[in-house]
Amino acid sequence: MNINLHHKSKKVLLINPAKKDSFQVTRIHMGLTLLGGMLIDANHDVRILDYAFLNGKFTKIPAPVPELKDVISDFKPDVIGISVFSYLYNEVGQMLSEISGLTDAVVMLGGPHFAVFPDDFIQNPAVDYIFQGEAELLLTKTVETAEKNNPPVIIQCPRPEPGDIPRICIDIAYGASFLTDYQIQLSRGCPFSCSFCNIHMVGGRKVRKRLIEDCVAEIVEAKNLHPSIGNISITDDCPTADKKRFKEFLKQFIKAKTGCTLSVDNMRADLIDEELLDLFVKARGQNVCLGTESGCPDVFKRVNKGLEIQDVIDTAGKVREHGLILGACFVIGLPGDSSARHEDSIALAKELSPDYLFWNMCVPWPGTEIGNWYKDNGHIADMRNFSTLIDPYVNFSDPVCWTDSFTKEERIRAWLKANLETHLWFNAEKCMGKLQNICKKYSLEASLAQFLRRLYPEK
């Protein structure tokens, strides 16, 4: 342990806010657990309050979720750090007002939001520091010298090298003893250039590979300390960017006999082969989620994935042959998409018949190829507070981009139709009336009938 004796130990409260929606998070915020662990190593006292995790239905925490005001009055933090997702923009604003009425702790913001909206919150008097990028190399020093600032100090962070990426520390998170799903990154960054992705502004195009031995040792230690962990989630930007290395991880994970299952958030269809799937099954791998994007060949090609729809179909077949859970991730409204072309996506989803599926609404993040395309060819609304998914109770916000040939209303119809026809997403028991009304409004009675036939096959 690297104890810094030159500075007084600080009390640091790290927070991940959440919406009161039905989005379920089973894991504890990666960035906060890394940064918190680093601060602990530097002899500071740290707590993590991850409301996305604590509010999750699957978290099963028996006690009430701690309220921010109680935590602040009990823990009395010197520094409060908040992680900002763009879709939680409003919640962060509200939290900042609440905090300024409760404490004069120094407030720091960081997180993925600042990759796309670097100027946000600069005017907010409750904020003292804003970190842009990965904060590992600069946070400890900033905490140790923290002071109130108006306007906030903007800190542009250099990306850490793999050896500088610390271990995750979950012990300091409220509710950690109820954690069942432990997430880890074996690498950061991705060399590919999908048109909708802003990886060059987040993890970067260079893949920073951590030592496999260190990653496996970290998993083993986490499992020993927290027997409640039953699954390990790999959340790399592109875990199979180096296939050989990922296979090596699988071999070492199998040898480690942790007793945990393994899941991977996303894998490119062209970087999966038989040997990888065999090892994945031996490692108790559960699922493979493929970026299917669009079933229309022209729209798919324009994503720049460098593969064909047929590659996705072939890989999905192999995933099935290995008895694994198949996931698929579509995007509605990519450049070139239209109501008619969306039918190809629905057809592909029906052909693949995955076990789970996401119909994401397109978000033209600034700095991406599609962000530029929408500037020239369409309309862009505010991307803050927007969730790319429709929820099971038919709540959704308006699409944040559209074109004259694929309008906002047509996109909403496409969203509803896809979710009705390709999986059992909507909670009919709780929102049948709402579903009926919206299907009438968008002339989707036939799709609703299809949905109900699959939901109640016996009737």
Number of residues that bind ligand SF4 (CB under 6 A): 9
Interaction between residue 27 and ligand B12 (CB under 6 A): yes
Task: Output 54 or 448, the one with its CB closest to ligand B12.
Answer: 54
Other C-beta atoms lying within 10 Å of the C-beta of residue 308: 14
Q: Is 236 in the site for ligand SF4 (CB under 6 A)?
A: no
Burial-class residue 5 by CB neighbours within 10 Å (0-12, 13-18, 19+). exposed
Bridging pattern class, strands 153-156 and 356-361: unpaired
Min CB(200)–ligand SF4 separation in Å: 8
Query: Nearest approach, Cβ of 179 to ligand B12 (angstroms)?
Result: 12
Which among ligand SF4, ligand B12, none contacts residue 194 (Cβ within 5 to 8 A by kind)?
ligand SF4
Q: Which of 116, 212, 222, 420 forms a contact with ligand B12 (CB under 6 A)?
A: 116
What is the helix, strand, coil percentage profile of the chain, to 5?
40, 15, 45
Q: Which of 72, 74, 68, 60 is nearest to 26 (CA)?
A: 60
> Could you tell me if residue 394 is left (phi over 0), alpha (psi between -120 and 50 degrees) or otherwise beta?
left
The CB-of-344 to ligand B12 minimum distance in angstroms stands at 24
**Out of 39, 96, 179, 199, the residue judged to bind ligand SF4 by CB under 6 A:** 199
Subset of 34-53 contacting ligand B12 (CB under 6 A): 34-35, 52
Site for ligand B12 in 384-443 (CB under 6 A): 387-389
Angle between helices 408-422 and 428-441 (to 10 degrees): 140
Question: N- to C-terminal Cα distance for the chain?
Answer: 64
For position 232 contacting ligand B12 by CB under 6 A, the verdict is no
Give least dist CB 266 to ligand SF4, A.
6
Residue 320 one-letter amino acid? R
Is the torsion defined by CA of 307, 311, 313, 316 positive or negative? negative
Given 135, 312, 319, 444, the residue binding ligand B12 (CB under 6 A): 135
Q: Three-class SS of residue 218? A: helix
Tell me: does residue 369 bind ligand SF4 (CB under 6 A).
Answer: no
Q: How far is CA 245 from CA 221, 223, 274, 390, 436, in A?
A: 21, 23, 15, 36, 50
Residue 193 or 338 having the CB closest to ligand SF4: 193
- The entry of ligand B12, ligand SF4, none near residue 192 (CB within 5 to 8 angstroms by kind) is ligand SF4
Helices (H), 353-407: 369-377
Options 156-164, 186-194, 378-386, 405-413: segment touching ligand SF4 (CB under 6 A): 186-194
Task: Report the C-alpha gap between 233 and 198 in whole angstroms.
Answer: 22
Under rule CB under 6 A, residue 349 binds ligand SF4 = no
For residue 199, what are the contacts with CB-CB under 8 A and spacing of at least 6?
A: 189, 190, 192, 205, 237
Phi, psi dihedrals of residue 174, rounded to the nearest 5°? -60, 135
Which parts of 247-306 interact with ligand SF4 (CB under 6 A)? 268
Report d(CA 171, CA 177) in Å as an integer.
8
Determine the distance from the C-alpha atom of residue 156 to the mean position of all C-alpha atoms in its chain, rounded to a whole number: 22
Q: Which is nearer to ligand B12, 43 or 132 (CB)?
A: 132
Contacting residue, 176, 197, 276, 277, with ligand SF4 by CB under 6 A:
197
Contact 325, 353 (CB under 8 A): no
Q: Does 190 participate in binding ligand SF4 (rule CB under 6 A)?
A: yes
Nearer to ligand B12, 102 or 347 (CB): 102
* Smallest distance from ligand SF4 to CB 238, Å: 5
Contact pick of 117, 192, 386, 393 for ligand SF4 (by CB under 6 A) = 192
**Closer Cβ to ligand SF4, 128 or 369, answer by number:** 369
Q: What minimum distance in Å lies between the beta carbon of 99 and ligand B12?
A: 13
Kindly list the residues in this chain that would bind ligand B12 in the complex (CB under 6 A).
Answer: 16, 18, 23, 25, 27, 29-31, 34-35, 52, 81-83, 85-87, 108-113, 116, 131, 134-136, 139, 185, 197-198, 202-203, 235, 237, 265, 387-389
Kindly list the residues in this chain that would bind ligand SF4 in the complex (CB under 6 A).
Answer: 190, 192-194, 197, 199, 237-238, 268
